Amino acid sequence: MALKIDDYKDFEMFYKLPQELFEECFKGLSIGAKVLYAILRDKWGQSQKNGWHDEKGIYCNFSVKLLSEIMGCSEKTITSYKKELSEYCLISERRQFNSTNKIYVNRVSEAKRHVHEDFTCTERKNLPHVHEDFTCTERKNLPTNQTNINQTNLTKLNNNSTAKKIEENFGRFLSPIEIEMVNFWEKEYDNDLIDFAIKEAVMRNKRTTKWIDTSLFDWVNKNGLKTVSEIKEYLTSKTSQNSRSKKKDFSSGRYALLGTDISVHEIDPELGF
């Protein structure tokens, strides 16, 4: 029987499936894996009540067998779904001796910010022909959905000048997740800020998209900086603070027995020193 207007009063239990899991960067994630994520998020509340937490955070303590019973599928399928979620940084696991693995559920928003470099290229080809020539040792063993997401993201790469610029400066290919991250930057940040972050990464020998992502978040989201000039002033100010701190430590004898070189260097926005 179809739902009626008064049916909203009925008490029914639902698993909440985040809408973000249907965004472009998660298109390669199977529906089954998305449902498993919703179930684990639901169990997270139960874990909190049970006091299942450690230094890493709250975790789920459910066996593959139990999850297979909940979803009505084989244990092998659950293992496959968990592997997908792990590849997309939506969950992480910690092995336990003679016990089920601890499953830590990550926020979808944070998963989008993580860098996955699971695709190690065997050979660097001519960048303009990356779509045709891109080969990886793992690719032939990838599930169909992972191969599809590779093709989708490689097509995007050919149309993404920022991604090409990063590859040229880093001297390597970007992974599919990294390409999605670059696409996210272009929606969130001005191009001149992204270009500046790329130059800073190269200058500081921090050639990772994670460093760029962390820096952009620190500059724009955390400190409200909107222009390159503001960022330069911010970095100069932090460098000056770092210099004064080092001089103070030196005068107090902190470095006296260490033979430490305390020459001033430019501050690293990711590390803070």
Q: How far apart are CA 86 and CA 97, in angstroms?
A: 20
pLDDT by residue (tens digit) across 110-136? 787 763 433 333 333 443 434 333 334
pLDDT at 146: 46
- CA-based nearest residue to 122, from 107, 108, 106, 133: 133
Helices (H), 100-206: 108-111, 130-133, 144-158, 161-170, 176-188, 191-203
Q: pLDDT higher for 258 or 94?
A: 94
Say which residue the tokens 């809408």 belong to.
Answer: 19
- Signed CA dihedral, 74, 93, 85, 165: sign only: negative
- Range with lowest mean pLDDT among 67-76, 144-153, 239-248: 144-153
pTM over 0.95: no
Average pLDDT over residues 214-225: 90
| CATH class of the structural domain 19-111 | mainly alpha
pLDDT by residue (tens digit) across 180-214? 888 888 888 999 999 999 999 999 998 888 899 88
Burial annotation 15-53 (CB, 10 A radius, 16+ → b, else e): eeebeebeeebbebbbeebbbbbebbbbbbeebeeeebe
Write down the domain spans for the chain. Answer: 19-111, 113-177, 189-273
